[in-house]
């Protein structure tokens, strides 16, 4: 049964607690038997039922055990058709984007810490001067 193909239209018809299909990485899973056992609560699954839940699944950072459970729920693959939403890319950003952003954040943070230290020293000096008068 795992070699069956489903369209988005087919999957979208399975969106209730007793009949719940989800799509993760273009594989179709019947999550009906797992709804009550899901550690995140049934609402999480019901919110993505009948649709592509790849982004939600990956954003949570599921464990290897969760992925094994998911494998046991496999019923088929998604057959993409014209007009279906395109799958999102889950690649990590390249090193150039993070290096530039990280460097400018570091300099700004250093400037704020330096300014805060100078203000604290000035306030300490003024208060000490006032207490000795």
Report residue 93's pLDDT band, with 50, 70 and 90 as the boundaries. Answer: very low
Average pLDDT rounded to a whole number, residues 7-36:
92
4-14 core/surface letters (b: 16 or more CB in 10 A; e: else)? eebebebbeeb
Report residue 75's pLDDT band, with 50, 70 and 90 as the boundaries. Answer: very high
Whether the pLDDT of residue 101 is over 60: the answer is: no
* 15: CATH: 3.10.120.10
> What does the alpha-carbon distance between residue 110 and residue 131 come to, in Å, rounded to a whole number?
32
Quote the domain boundaries for residue 47.
5-78
| In-domain check, residue 44 | yes
Please provide the average confidence, as pLDDT, over all residues in the chain: 82
| In-domain check, residue 116 | no
Report how many domains make up the chain: 1
Q: What is the pLDDT of residue 40?
A: 87
Of 57, 81, 74, which Cα lies nearest the Cα of 8?
Answer: 81
| In-domain check, residue 25 | yes
Q: What is the pLDDT of residue 95?
A: 45
Q: What is the pLDDT of residue 74?
A: 94
């Amino acid at each position: 049964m795992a070699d069956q193909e489903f369209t988005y239209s087919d999957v979208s018809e399975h969106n209730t607690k007793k009949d719940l299909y989800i799509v993760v990485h273009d594989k179709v899973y019947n999550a009906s038997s797992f709804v009550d056992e899901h550690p995140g609560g049934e609402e999480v699954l019901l919110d993505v039922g009948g649709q592509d839940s790849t982004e939600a699944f990956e954003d949570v950072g599921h464990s290897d055990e969760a992925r094994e459970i998911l494998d046991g729920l496999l019923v088929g693959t998604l057959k993409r058709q014209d007009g279906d939403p395109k799958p999102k890319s889950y690649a990590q950003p390249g090193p150039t984007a993070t290096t530039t952003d990280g460097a400018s954040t570091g300099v700004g943070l250093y400037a704020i810490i330096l300014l805060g230290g100078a203000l604290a020293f000035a306030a300490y000096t003024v208060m000490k001067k006032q207490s000795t008068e």
